[in-house]
Amino acid sequence: MRFFLLSLLMVLVIQCQSEQGSLLIGQWQAVELTEAGEALILDLSPVGFQFYDNGRYRFSSTLNQGEAGSYFVQSNQLFTTDTLQQAPVEKKVQILHLSADSLRLKMQANDKERILTLVKSDRISSDSE
């Protein structure tokens, strides 16, 4: 019985991670950025993510900055590895909310908590990358 319950728990965890990963696939546009609870007044139009179903992603930011590489979701954490850097850099952010049309990410920047809110703007696949 104990083995059965442990197996069931593992299946549920894997299924939830898979469901989060599939919800993440697509193009996301930033609509709000807060720092320490205060909205930052920025042009967020260039800020966004594209998550592909092959485990790859692209991120674009202000001032023509960006990154690309691989990603995976574990529990409520999103791990990205920017392979555009000579020495790949792994980052981890917390997924506060993920649904079919909205995403909220919590991260640390300059010792301050930032929350980035994004909306899904298009569904894409690995064929796009």
pLDDT tens for each residue of 65-101: 899 999 999 999 999 999 998 899 999 999 999 999 9
pLDDT-derived band at 16, boundaries 50, 70, 90: very low
- The whole-model pTM stands at 0.78
Query: Could you give the 3-state DSSP secondary structure of residue 14?
Result: helix
pLDDT tens for each residue of 22-75: 899 999 999 999 999 999 999 999 999 999 999 999 999 988 889 999 999 999
Residue 20: per-residue pLDDT: 63
Compute the C-alpha angle 35/120/68, nearest 5°.
Answer: 75
Enumerate domains of the chain plus CATH numbers: 2-128 (2.40.128.280)
